[in-house]
Amino acid sequence: MRSLTIRRPDDWHLHLRDGEMLKGVVGDTSRDFARAIIMPNLVPPVVTTADAIAYKKRIVDAIPAGDRFSPLMTLYLTEGTDADDVEEGKKSGLINAVKLYPAGATTNSHGGVRDFDKVMPVLERMAKIGLPLCVHGEVTTPEVDIFDREAVFIETVLEPLRRRVPELKVTMEHVTTKDGIDYIKSSAGNLAGTLTTHHLIINRNAILVGGIKPHYYCLPVAKRESHRLALRAAAVSGDPRFFLGTDSAPHVDPLKECACGCAGIYTSINTMSCLAHVFEQENALDKLEAFASLNGPAWYGLEPNTETMTLVKRDAPVTFPQKIETGAGPVTVFDPMFPLHWDVER
Ligand code: DOR
Ligand code: ZN
C-alpha cells in the first residue's frame, strides 16, 4: 500500500505547556490533529473550571492562523477539588475529563492525590455525570521498583478504586505494560487505555544501552521488549478500548540533558509518520484509523472528525528536524531510530 486515507486523527493525551513553549509547539499538533485532550500539569496546575477557561483561551490564541484545532480541557484533581465546580465545567461543555496524578508520580505532580478518601466525593460525582477520570497509573512508593510501578498501581490502587466507584469511566493513560493491557482487556467495561507513539517503538534498552539517552526517558518509563510487543498488539487489534494519546511532553534540552533530567518525549511533529510505519510493520494499516481517529472519540462520547488525512509512502525518507526551536529554547524531536517513509500529504 502506498497511500492511506483516514479520518483526521485526534490526540487523547497531550502536554502543550504555556507561554513561549505553548506558542512553539501547538502548531505541530494543530497541523495533523483536529482535537487533543490537554493535560493540566502546568505550574500552577489547571485545577478549577475558571483556570481551564483561561488556559483554553491562551491555547486558542497560540494556534497558527488557518489551522482547525480544538483543545479539549481537563482539570487536575487535588484533594481540594470541588465537585460542584467539576460538574459545572462538564455541563458547560468545557471539561472533558479530570486527571489523576498520584502525588509525586511525574512532572508537576506534587499537588496530586495522596489520600484517595479525600477525592471520593468528586469521583462519585464524576461517575454520576459521566465524566471520565484520566489516570497516571504508577505508585510512587519508594520501595517499589520503577519498572513495577504500573503493575503495582493496578493491583493496589486502581482495582480497589474501581470497586469503590464502579460506574466511573477510567482512561488508563500511557499504558506501558502487558499487565495494563491485560487488565483493560479483562474489565467488563468503563475502562480504556491510551498508548503513546514512543512506547510502541522503544523498549528500555533505548534509554540505557550505549550510554544514557535522556531523550528516550519518560514516565512511565519504557519497559522490556515483551511489554512493548503487548502494546503493539493492542494498538493494532482494532479493540475500541485502545487509542492514541501521544503524551508528547516537551522540555527544553538543558532540562533533559543534565544530571537530573526531566521525563518527557516530544512526538507531536512526527507521530503520524511513526504510527503508519508501526502499523505497516504489523500488517495492520487498515487498523490505524480505529486507533488514531475512531476509538478515542467513541470513548469520550464525541463524533469522529469529518475531515480526512492522507498518508503517502515516499521512496525517499521523510525528514523531520532533529530539534524544534521555541521561544523557551530548543526541544529535541523523538528519533524512532529507523527511517520514516510515510508522510502526511498537505
Ligand atoms: O514523561 C512524562 N512527561 N510523563 C508524564 O507523565 C508527564 C510528562 C510531562 O509533563 O513532562
Ligand atoms: Zn502525560
Residue to mutate (ligand 1; options 218, 256, 268; most atoms within 8 A of CB): 218
**Interaxial angle between packed helices 225-235 and 271-281, expressed in degrees from 0 to 180 and rounded to the nearest 10:** 90
Q: What's residue 270's pLDDT?
A: 98
Residue 239: what residue type?
A: D
Pairing of strands 308-313, 342-344: antiparallel
Q: Please name the fold of domain 3-344.
A: TIM Barrel (3.20.20)
Query: In angstroms, how far is the first alpha carbon of the chain from the final one?
Result: 19
pLDDT in tens, 116-142: 999 999 999 999 999 999 999 999 999
pLDDT value at 243 more than 90: yes
Number of neighbouring beta carbons within 10 Å of residue 317: 12
pLDDT in tens, 104-117: 888 888 899 999 99
pLDDT value at 1 more than 90: no
Q: Whose atoms come closest to the Cα of 16: which ligand?
A: 1
Q: Looking up cell 475502562, which residue turns up?
A: 191
pLDDT value at 284 more than 90: yes
> Which residues are known to be catalytic?
247
Atom of ligand 1 nearest to the CA of 251: 11
Residues 6 or more apart whose CB falls under 8 angstroms from that of 262 comprise 107, 251, 255, 256
Q: What are phi and psi of 160, to 5 degrees?
A: -60, -40
Over residues 260-289, mean pLDDT:
98
pLDDT in tens, 161-212: 999 999 999 999 999 999 999 999 999 889 999 999 999 999 999 999 999 9
Give ion ligand 2 contacts, CB < 5 A. 247
* Domain spans, the chain: 3-344
Secondary structure class of 6 (helix, strand, coil): strand
**Grid coordinates standing for 261?**
533530567
CA of 91 to the centre of ligand 2 (A): 25
Over residues 26-42, mean pLDDT:
98
Q: Which residues line ligand 1 (CB under 6 A)?
A: 15, 41, 106-107, 136, 218-219, 247, 249, 263-264
